[in-house]
Amino acid sequence: MFGFMLQTILEIAVATFIIWGLFNEKTLIKFEDRIIAALKKKFKASRSKRNVYRHEARRHGNDRTCA
Residues 9-44: tens digit of each pLDDT: 999 999 999 999 899 999 989 989 999 999 988 888
Task: Name the helix (H) or strand (E) containing 58.
Answer: helix 25-59
Domain count, the chain: 1
Q: Which domain does 63 fall in, by range?
A: 25-67
20 belongs to a structural domain: no
pLDDT at 28: 87
Distances (CA, A) of 30 to 14, 63, 65: 19, 44, 38
pLDDT at 44: 80
Q: If DSSP codes are grouped into helix, strand and coil, which group holds residue 18?
A: helix
62 belongs to a structural domain: yes
13 belongs to a structural domain: no
CA atoms within 13 A on the CB side of 51: 6
Distance CA 41, CA 34 (A): 11
Tell me the residue type at 44: K
39 belongs to a structural domain: yes
Q: How much is the pTM? A: 0.48
